[in-house]
Amino acid sequence: MSQSSSLAAALALFVRFGLAVNNGLARTPQMGWDNWNSFGCDVSEELLQASAKLIVDYGLKDLGYQYVILDDCWSNGRDDNGTLVPDYTKFPNGMAAVADDIHDLGLKFGMYSSAGVYTCGQYAGSLGYEEIDAQTWASWGVDYLKYDNCYNSGQAGTQQISHDRYNVMAKALNDTGRPILYSLCNWGEDYPWNWGSTIANSWRISGDVTDYYDKPDDRCPCDGPDAWDCGLPGWHCSLLNIINKASFITSKGIKGAWNDLDMLEVGNGGMTDPEYLTQFSVWSAVKSPLILGNDLRIVQPQDLAIISNAAIIAVNQDPLGSSASRRWFYETDDIDEYGKGSYQVWSGALYSTTGGDYYDVLAVFVNGNNSPLTMNATLLELFADLGSTSAEAYAALSWEVNDLWGNRMSNEEAQAIIDAASGNYTGAAWNGTSTDRYNATAKSYAQGLAEADPLLLGTKTTTVAPSGTVVAEVDRHGVAVFRLRAIPTEAARKREL
Ligand code: GAL
């Protein structure tokens, strides 16, 4: 074999068995909906059909929510050949029919299993059945696998052991020839952020999120400053607990392979509006998958407005794929019912919408205090670690400050969209062409950012002078999110003329 043809053969092998980050999927974090957070095991064909249709009718598909994911409790054992059998009471027409319905709406279909003998709900797991299960899912038209960690027969305890167990399914999925996004759900056990990117498109970094902002729970160990060394991260984790855990591993996500902070709780009723804004904002800033977890059939307008904010989603789907990082964190005495008080600031590089030499910069102020707080951060603090250009060079410019929640959809507009979807509305609701709502199907986020589309830039609040300070008024348990855009200096302006 000539040198070039053996190189080509090696390359072909690499592409076939290579990194999941090279399977072409999740170049930006995946977006979608999963039934688990609001329905648990109560799954059915009708639920998936209804939810998929609402994703389209609410304009969520056109914001990028693409995957409809069926979680645990869908099967009824294996047949004599070892093939998984759907529960025909819940899915009378089988899974391929569900996949067809979802595909007909222009969406993609995700399913769930466990790298164990059983799933967490004690249905048949896929350990030892990886190839046959991957082939079955591919034959049904499945586009996404969420792969859990229950009943793993003790095959955990070191990074290598967990990696090897999950790698069997990675290879089986690749062997189907069908692009199937591979989402690891081993709750952060054995530090998957260190090895997940070699085999998968995302990995959960913690135990299951709960619908609480900062409620401690013995079942979710490792919090605050100690959260970094947590080989067994538990479950029943609060929002701030997961944010703390994420803060130590933000550098691990890359295009095609992301830290997964777990599904969204927005709309599930346990948290306040500012708390839900915090989840949606930080999840976006950290480039976590954005997987909705609410009952779309009863969505409230204020929650639809949160999950529809294209200016925030554009941060999540940013072409740089670079997670924001925490710059500082303070615990305080302004404690709430759970004895917690804190505040923190995150920042990171975003695609340059000014077309200049400087990235746009994301600034996220998180107020975990029990009362509203005026927070501030200097440009120098915010501009740490942005790339090869120094923080000092960045801070020497003036910066336009854009509030990314500034043009949040009004409750009236959101209600109109909800009414239209349920057939109650007589006015002009979402039809895919509204001029004040972003349509990512028509124009990708990358394109919109390149054009500095105003729908992705929030509202301009102020300008900060060189070496200045960004100030934010932040609600109790709330968040302020700004996109800073460089204002060219006089010298640069003259050069352009
Ligand atoms: C958990 C997983 C949840 C959900 C559940 C199903 O282990 O973290 O997201 O999938 O199992 O039983």
**The pLDDT of residue 109:** 99
**The pLDDT of residue 72:** 98
Tens of pLDDT, residue by residue over 11-31, are 444 444 445 557 899 999 999
- Residues touching ligand 1 (Cβ under 6 Å) are 36, 71-72, 112, 119-121, 148, 150, 185, 187, 208
Collect all residues with Cβ–Cβ distance below 8 Å to 276 and sequence separation of at least 6.
Answer: 265, 266, 267, 303, 306
Which of these is catalytic: 133, 190, 208, 403?
A: 208
Question: Among 185-189, 398-402, 436-440, which stretch is predicted with the lowest mean pLDDT?
Answer: 436-440
Is residue 302 scored above 60 in pLDDT? yes
Q: Which two tokens stand for residue 315?
A: 């941060």
| Mean pLDDT across 414-435 | 69
| Mean pLDDT across 314-324 | 98
Q: In angstroms, what is the span from residue 120 Cα to ligand 1's centroid?
A: 6
| Mean pLDDT across 50-72 | 96
Is residue 212 scored above 60 in pLDDT? yes
For ligand 1, atom 11, name the residue with the nearest CA.
120
Which of these is catalytic: 34, 71, 101, 148?
A: 148
**The pLDDT of residue 436:** 77
SS3 346: strand
Kind of pairing between the strands at 108-114 and 67-69: parallel
For ligand 1, atom 4, name the residue with the nearest CA.
36
**The pLDDT of residue 137:** 98
- Total residue length of the chain: 497
The answer to whether 208 is a known catalytic residue is: yes
Count of C-beta atoms within a 10 Å radius of residue 40: 12
Q: Taking a C-beta distance cutoff of 8 angstroms, is the pair 275, 239 a contact?
A: yes
Q: In angstroms, what is the span from residue 449 Cα to ligand 1's centroid?
A: 35
**The pLDDT of residue 492:** 54
Give CA–CA dist 32/160, Å, rounded. 30
| Ligand 1 atom nearest to CA at 185 | 8
Tens of pLDDT, residue by residue over 330-380, are 999 999 999 999 999 999 999 999 998 999 999 999 999 999 999 999 999
Q: Taking a C-beta distance cutoff of 8 angstroms, is the pair 21, 181 a contact?
A: no
The answer to whether 419 is a known catalytic residue is: no
Domains of the chain: 31-317 (3.20.20.70), 325-407+458-487 (2.60.40.1180)
Confidence (pTM):
0.94
| Mean pLDDT across 254-280 | 98
Mean pLDDT of the chain: 92
Q: In angstroms, what is the span from residue 48 Cα to ligand 1's centroid?
A: 18
103 band by pLDDT with thresholds 50, 70 and 90: very high
Question: Among 35-44, 310-319, 470-479, 480-489, which stretch is predicted with the lowest mean pLDDT?
Answer: 480-489
Q: In angstroms, what is the span from residue 261 Cα to ligand 1's centroid?
A: 13
| Ligand 1 atom nearest to CA at 146 | 10
